[in-house]
Amino acid sequence: MSGPPVVIVPSLGRPVVNVPRANGGVPMTVVSSLGEPVTLTTGLGEPVTLLNESGSLYAAPWTVSGLASWYDPSDLTSLYQSRTGGSNVSADGQSVGIMLDKSQMGGRTASAFVAGQTELVTNGSFATDTAWTKGTGWTISGGQAVATAIINDSAQRLYQAISTVAGTLYRITYTIAGFSGNGMSLFTGAADPPLTAGVFVNANGTYTEMFTAVGSTTFVGFGARGSGTTTFIIDNVSVKALPGYHAIAPSDAARPLYKTSGGKHWLQPDGIDDWMQVSPVLNLGETWWHVGGWLCSTSGRAAFATTEVSRGALSMGSSATLYRWADAAGNSQPISNSATLSAAHVGTVQQTSTSLIFARINGVSGPSITPFDDSASVQGLALFTGINTAWANGLSGRSYPGVYGTGTLSDSDRASLEAYFAEQAGVVL
């Protein structure tokens, strides 16, 4: 582990439970096994890692071995309203088009992580007339690039090549001023000049968009859209990599809502067509685990899918047997003990081998079964759906913060994660 500072809390016993995400200046309550709360306030602007008096690490999500993805609706800087980027979520009831995976962000907020990422654009401030290829109608001077009466033509673009990793998501920001005419947009892609248009822009402002790289070099630029001519000034271009397995709504209608109440934060899919694809493909393989907070409002709905077939999905069933998975014969079987369907809970699912899968509700283990062999199916995680290629009988309810991982989850890490996510879902274990 590296990066975040370590705070040793000698007064705490073991185990430590209820450790909220700790950001600068935000009080956090830490409850020891003695049940006595200790309030800490950090002014560090970064997360802290807690050690108990014996020096053992309290396993926060970002420290757990095998962590593949971590979705954290409590960090609004990891949520974007549009499926193409745009503004961060800022209030209850807004749609979520992108939920960033924070597993590689070292416990920082997404915004803090992005701020520390390497700038990939050369001369994004246009301080000099260098680094950019200027099509017809473009000039660079006075610390900005100016497009004068350009039309929607690849020969009239301003662009440069940046180094990228295929499949990785990138965030670009830019500022438009002096806009007049029809429209403009970002263009990206492997072609020189780039051809894939971003969001249609027809007003001054600062814009944020996302694009997924298709190769080791991506051309990034700007040009006119629509018919007629467009004039504008562009400045402050920045591109940062966002490594990880991000959850992205495949359409506008598929976006779940962000909801918050009582200090808790969750996504709320509608149970009709809301779901999120994880990109790039996250193949959890045949040994994997999940821990997270859930609330299921309607019986028999799928929380997440690991493959293209419904037999590779977690179904939240009746109140008597909340979690169900398909057995070797393909029949849905309970893998958890009784729980209240409509209550927030922390769910753990572990497939420890090709012959064993089981679940835990609020820290209590259920029956194990031999899972359906879905290894021949197209693998890949998707949220709030029963298959990973479309919405299928998806969740109506709440998805609190949670993690997905590969390999073996140790008992101690599992206990820590369950405690961590119990607090975030408002559950007492």
For another protein, the binding residues (CB under 8 A) are 81, 83, 91, 93-95, 183, 199-200, 202, 226-227, 250-255, 257, 270-274, 298, 390-391, 396
Min dist CB 393 to another protein, Å, is 9
Own/partner pairs for 148-151, CB < 8 Å, 24+ apart?
A: 148/231, 149/181, 149/229, 149/230, 149/231, 150/223, 150/224, 150/229, 150/230, 150/231, 151/224, 151/228, 151/229, 151/230
Q: Which residue's CB is nearer to another protein, number 83 or number 157?
A: 83
Contact between residue 106 and residue 3 where contact means Cβ atoms under 8 Å apart:
yes
Distance CA 423, CA 429 (A): 9
CB of 38 to another protein, least distance (A): 38
Closer of 95 and 424 to another protein (Cβ): 95
The half-sphere exposure of 300 on its side-chain side, counting CA atoms within 13 A, is 3
- Single-letter code of the amino acid located at 125: S
Q: Shortest Cβ distance from residue 303 to another protein (Å)?
A: 16
**Residue with Cβ nearer another protein (378 or 390):** 390
Q: CB burial class (10 A; 0-12, 13-18, 19+) of residue 384?
A: buried
49 vs 81, which CB is nearer to another protein? 81
Query: Is 149 or 200 the residue whose CB approaches another protein more closely?
Result: 200
Min CB(243)–another protein separation in Å: 25
Query: In this structure, what is the dihedral angle of CA atoms 82, 84, 88, 92, given to the nearest 10 degrees?
Result: 20
Rounded least distance, CB 416 to another protein, Å: 35
Question: Between residues 175 and 202, which has the closer beta carbon with respect to another protein?
Answer: 202
106 vs 300, beta carbon nearer another protein:
300
Query: Taking the complex as a whole, how short is the minimal distance between the CB of residue 253 and another protein, in angstroms?
Result: 4
Least distance from another protein to the Cβ atom of residue 202, Å:
6
d(CA 63, CA 67): 8
Q: How far is the CB of 324 from another protein (least distance, A)?
A: 18
Cβ 402 vs Cβ 293: under 8 Å: yes
Q: Which is nearer to another protein, 133 or 297 (CB)?
A: 297
Q: How far apart are CA 67 and CA 103, in angstroms?
A: 7
CB closer to another protein, 139 vs 251: 251
Length of the chain: 429
Residue of 247, 266, 414, 289 lying closest to 344 (CA atoms): 266
Q: Which two tokens stand for residue 235?
A: 């400045």
Smallest separation, CB 179 to another protein (Å) = 13
For 128, residues 6+ apart whose C-beta sits below 8 A from its C-beta are: 140
What is d(CA 99, CA 116) in angstroms, rounded to the nearest whole number? 19
